[in-house]
Structure 1
């Protein structure tokens, strides 16, 4: 670790581990609110009411019924939900500190390898969820669905993808690194949140179709869908995240081409990393186009969104670890 501040590097690793622990605690709280909170239970009661009415029985919940005071455990679940949001914010602050301390340790931007890139992307995913939740508070109880893949990503980053703090290789000693890779990490981290919201949207829309067809709602899918916000809310939230991320990803590709010309003497060489970045861009451009086309809105567009995120995963893991190219320095140590 020549030229590296070892103490700061160890501190960064400790903060990284602490952030995982805090996120895990927040995920448990979000899951508890999802299972027992007012939003989830109200949705479940409405579903039960629809089933009884469809069977000719009395409705459990009616529009004219007087309001019922929340049960004590619902109020407790609401408090747990608020505490979980606070824990998520604390985890994001600790996570940010680990990235900043890593930057001090290497005296460079801390997103030059898979470990650092995954860490930054995970942080952006959490921030993206907090931002979406700020605009749509009704999705607060879905925090566990966002934090779970973030925790898994960070676990892989700290084990399989981990790289010791080290100075940048010559190809990375450019201010374009700070622009290109940072924009990619922001875009892809936010797109993780969009992908999870899209999966929930597909589950909810399928459940809604079954209910509309008069089919009984049962099984894991029905249990999940009962406690979800409306399909429209989930769909709009997923779309807005992509609409935010796509321009950033586009600028990142342009900056990467400029960086490639300075480092390797050509703007574009169809390196495997460049090729898959272009594929990702095309798929998400297709998603946005599908959203603007009447016949492709809803579930069809949602599957395109998931195809784009699948391409991101392939580009991040397979291309970095298996395929040899000019971007091989992004692999593990």
Structure 2
């Protein structure tokens, strides 16, 4: 956690010092241009063109263009995320330090999960404490995997590390459980398959959730610019460090669409394990019910994305609702309901 804290401050430094001069130029470029003729007796009213032969000048009112991150990056005006511009040496330095610290923290994190497993000679996700530490570890691994694949996703580093710190803090203070053996029902190879898939799916769903949240903010910012609004300097400084709304939306959709089949198999694997352990494949246990509700919510989101009229903010709202179902399935069900899964406790 201490190394994650150092990475957290490095990411903040990257956002504070990176791309500031380029952001200022972009903010100026986003202002609507007007060219009224001096001494003109009248100006064209928006929506009414000036007739040929009439006296007076005309005002050229153009719809303000949103300089998206993807287009600007090709022109060399803006980086694709904080500290990604070639000339933004200071911001990029902090960014590389932040990523290096994240890698170091991840190694310590993975070592902690491994030693927990060695101490009990089983999979290290038998209770909420172990699940939380493994969950955040996989989320960081997914982020670093995208970086290794040369994907420009450093913009997700700050919210990711913030959430990991909150998750680990909750795990070691509220959810901590001493190393112990599991009940006989959990002594099965399905523990490695079913629970590990649930952890991986949840961690990747989380990355899609962060991208969806940032998409809503960036989309509102771009809409305001298109309508001729003038966001404050702080909004410009923050929003222009993110990719375009379209890029964020696509990133979230691709993650959710790729993970959904694995979440489906997670539920199927749990049903098969339940048949072996309890003699029935489905018993409407609260954990089973909310896993299915989460599946339905993500299915609705993917269906909405494939249906005309349900793209953008409407579909993003469904994605947030789906991830909220996942979180409730993890925290709410364990604390508020009993059932066959209550042995996991905290």
TM-score (norm 2): 0.81
CA RMSD of aligned residues (A): 2.7
Unaligned regions of 5+ residues in structure 2, if any? 37-66
Aligned partners of 1:199, 1:78: CA distance in 2, in Å? 24
**Paired residue for 1:231?**
245
Deviations 1:254-305 (A, max 9, x none): 0100111111110001100000000001111111112222211111111111
Aligned partners of 2:216, 2:96: CA distance in 1, in Å? 27
Aligned partners of 1:66, 1:90: CA distance in 2, in Å? 32
**Paired residue for 2:27?**
47
Question: How many equivalent pairs are there?
Answer: 305
Q: Which range moves more in the overlay, 83-92 or 257-266?
A: 83-92
Aligned partners of 1:228, 1:280: CA distance in 2, in Å? 29
Aligned partners of 2:150, 2:27: CA distance in 1, in Å? 22
Whether 2:51 is the aligned partner of 1:37: answer: no
Q: Which range moves more in the overlay, 47-56 or 247-256?
A: 47-56
**Paired residue for 2:8?**
27
**Paired residue for 2:309?**
295
- 1:30, 1:142 within 8 Å by CA — same for their partners in 2? no
Aligned in 2, Cα 1:103/1:184: closer, same or farther, shift over 3 Å?
same
Aligned in 2, Cα 1:44/1:111: closer, same or farther, shift over 3 Å?
farther
- 1:291, 1:301 within 8 Å by CA — same for their partners in 2? yes
Counterparts of 1:49-68 in structure 2, within 5 Å, are: 49-51=29-31, 53=33
**Paired residue for 1:243?**
257
- 1:183, 1:252 within 8 Å by CA — same for their partners in 2? yes
**Paired residue for 2:57?**
none
**Paired residue for 1:283?**
297
**Paired residue for 2:170?**
156
The match for 1:319 among 313, 326, 333 is 333
Secondary structure at the residue paired with 1:294?
A: coil
- 1:198, 1:306 within 8 Å by CA — same for their partners in 2? yes
Deviations 1:210-259 (A, max 9, x none): 10011121276555323211112211211222123212111111010011
TM-score (norm 1): 0.84
Deviations 1:127-184 (A, max 9, x none): 2222334456433143101111121111111111111110111121111111000000
Aligned in 2, Cα 1:271/1:316: closer, same or farther, shift over 3 Å?
same
**Paired residue for 1:16?**
none
- 1:138, 1:229 within 8 Å by CA — same for their partners in 2? no
Secondary structure at the residue paired with 1:167?
A: coil
- 2:32, 2:228 within 8 Å by CA — same for their partners in 1? no
Counterparts of 1:1-333 in structure 2, within 5 Å, are: 20-38=1-19, 41-51=21-31, 53=33, 74-135=88-149, 137-218=151-232, 221-332=235-346
Aligned in 2, Cα 1:260/1:72: closer, same or farther, shift over 3 Å?
closer
Aligned partners of 1:191, 1:135: CA distance in 2, in Å? 19
Deviation at 1:74, TM superposition (A): 3.8
Unaligned regions of 5+ residues in structure 1, if any? 1-19
**Paired residue for 1:3?**
none
